[in-house]
Every structure is written in structure tokens, then in C-alpha cells.
Chains A and B, each alone.
Chain A
């Protein structure tokens, strides 16, 4: 993956707008968070292959932390803390936020085919 460039990623988000797409949305601090640090909480959520169609989507932010919001007919898809992206060999838009050690903290992925 490469660091997020607002213009490049916005173009990719626009390309999927109005289409029936599959979403992978995830946030995690790992299954060992509380094991490693007694004061930490294990928190995470993911949804894989949710089917949505968004009217439009935007990427906002600056520096190393970006937010993406996708406006759907009945609601929103939202992710915060994204800092890396790629369009993979299956033409899927992968966006992720990694911490200083390279660990995934958040991920939002958009694809026309199921993950």
C-alpha cells in the first residue's frame, strides 16, 4: 500500500459511486490488547461483504489521518484513521490505517465483486 493522496483516492471513490458494491469495514486493536496491557480494552468490529450502493463518497483529512464517508440511500458508511491505500490486482479499492509498528487499526475496502 502507499500513503494516501487525496486526489487519487477521491477519483477511485468516485469510480465506484452509483454501483452495487461490496464493503469490508473493520476496526481492531487486536485480540491481545488486554493481555498485553491490563488497562486496555479489546475492541473491534468488522463487516465483510456488506452490499451497498452509495450516491457519493468523500475522503477528507490531512497529514496521516484521513476519513472516508459514503452516503447511501438510507445511511452512511464511515471510517476514520486511514493512511494507506491501493487498488489491488482485482480492481478493489483497499484503504487502511496502520499504527507506527505497521499494525492494522482500521480498514475500509470497496469492490464490485465479493471479497
Chain B
């Protein structure tokens, strides 16, 4: 059994769409989970539908949504304070040092992050790479396992099938509740993910039907 799980993603809502079912499963087993969230999604273009956020009010709105989502999942939240969309231009060795310091304090047995170069958004790829670099520099005796999430088009043709497949159907209600906490983003992102025309009324039902599993690749540190 895991002792502590750390989730490292750059945006408020990445945890909901990518790993909320897996997180709920760990929490049910009594495993503590900490979410290190890279940014506040300041540059998101979903502003609610109908629009209720502005470019300037969005960070505070998304911060509150993130805090609510973490309450639903019952996880500890740490916000890392980077800025959305420009994470890849930061000095990534510094980001990696920052993550390494946090990981050495938390001392997790498992880290969940994005698979660098296979996670579509440049922020995902950059923070995933920094996280894996941080873990790779940890002492082997205390080094956590890493599960990396990929979802770029055609990723399985290159990477093969993910070795970690979490059946999240028993936790789908928690996952959807977590997604719906991100009110400014939920409808827009769910529309993309499910490929359906969503309204405020039908999105919960469609989401409950849509999510069945969350998949990850166990990172192989031998390859570095």
C-alpha cells in the first residue's frame, strides 16, 4: 500500500480530469494525497458559459474552485505560484529543485504527473519533465514510483499500452463532483473531452457515463 501520494499538475482542473478517480480510490484506502498545483490557470480561455469570469478575475475564481475540488477529494493542496502558459519558459532546473525540496519534505511513495512530450499542453510537458527530473535526482532508497499520464493523439502507438489502468467506475461520482467544482472550466473542457454538446443541465449525466478509467505509465528510471 502507498504511504503518501503526491500529484503534480500545472492547472486547477488537471487533477479533476486526469486523476480524481484514482485520488478518490487512494483516499478511500486512507492514503494521504497532496496536490502540488503549478499555476492558477490564469490564461485559461474558458470563462464560464455564460461568461462570468474576466481575464483579471479568473485567477481568484480558479483558486477558489481548486480549493473546493481539493475539499471534495479530501486532499492537501499546495499552490506552487507559477504562471499559466509560460511555465515552459521558466528555468526548469529551478522548478525541478523546487519540486525536489517539496518531495523530500513530503516523502511520498508515489508521484503522479504528466508524461513529458505526450501530454498536449506545453505546461503539462514542462512540469512533468521537471517533476521526473526532481524524482530522478532523489536518493534511490527514498525515491517514489512515478506514474506519468499521456494523452496526446496517437500516444499508445508510440508508448504502447499504459501499464497502470485504474478502474474508476466506483469513484466516478467523486470525480464528476470534483470536475463540477471547476465551474468556470467544466462545461468547456467536458465538451472537448466527451465530444458532446453540453448544457449546464445535461453535463453531469454525460460525465458520469463517460469516465471509466484513468491510465498511467510507470516511469522507468533505468532509461535516464
Q: A residues engaging B (CB < 8 A)?
A: 1, 24, 26, 28-32, 35-36, 38, 46, 84, 86, 88, 90, 92, 94, 96, 98, 101-105, 107, 109, 115
8 Å CB contact of B192 from A26, A32, A98: A32
Smallest CB separation, A52 vs chain B (Å): 18
Q: Judge whether B121 and A104 touch: CB under 8 Å.
A: no
Q: Is B162 an interface residue (CB 8 A)?
A: no
Give the docked Cα–Cα distance between A1 and B45 (Å): 15
- B197 to A, closest residue via Cβ: A101
Residue from A30, A86, A101 having most chain B Cβ neighbours under 10 A = A101
10 contacts between A and B (CB under 8 A): A31-B85, A31-B120, A31-B123, A84-B51, A90-B56, A102-B47, A103-B45, A103-B188, A104-B47, A109-B55
Give the docked Cα–Cα distance between A30 and B49 (Å): 16
Q: Judge whether A1 and B54 touch: CB under 8 Å.
A: yes
CB neighbours of A92 from chain B (8 A): 56
- Give a binary string over B30-45; 1 marks a CB under 8 Å from any A CB, 0 the rest: 0000000000000101
For chain B, give the interface size range.
Answer: 20 to 34
Give the docked Cα–Cα distance between A29 and B152 (Å): 18
Give the docked Cα–Cα distance between A36 and B123 (Å): 17
CB neighbours of B50 from chain A (8 A): 102
Smallest CB separation, A1 vs chain B (Å): 6
Smallest CB separation, B61 vs chain A (Å): 13
- A1 to B, closest residue via Cβ: B54
Instruction: Mark out the residues of chain B between 105 and 141 whose CB falls within 8 Å of any chain A CB in the assembled complex.
Output: 120-123
8 Å CB contact of B120 from A28, A29, A32, A107: A32
Q: Judge whether A1 and B43 touch: CB under 8 Å.
A: no
Q: Is B57 an interface residue (CB 8 A)?
A: yes
Q: Judge whether B54 and A86 touch: CB under 8 Å.
A: yes
Give the docked Cα–Cα distance between A53 and B212 (Å): 54
Smallest CB separation, A68 vs chain B (Å): 15
CB neighbours of A84 from chain B (8 A): 51
Q: Judge whether A102 and B192 touch: CB under 8 Å.
A: no
Residue from B46, B47, B50, B121 having most chain A Cβ neighbours under 10 A = B47
Q: Judge whether A31 and B122 touch: CB under 8 Å.
A: yes
Q: Judge whether B120 and A88 touch: CB under 8 Å.
A: no
Q: Judge whether B54 and A102 touch: CB under 8 Å.
A: no
Q: Judge whether A46 and B54 touch: CB under 8 Å.
A: no
- B153 to A, closest residue via Cβ: A35
Q: Judge whether A102 and B120 touch: CB under 8 Å.
A: no
Give the docked Cα–Cα distance between A107 and B53 (Å): 13
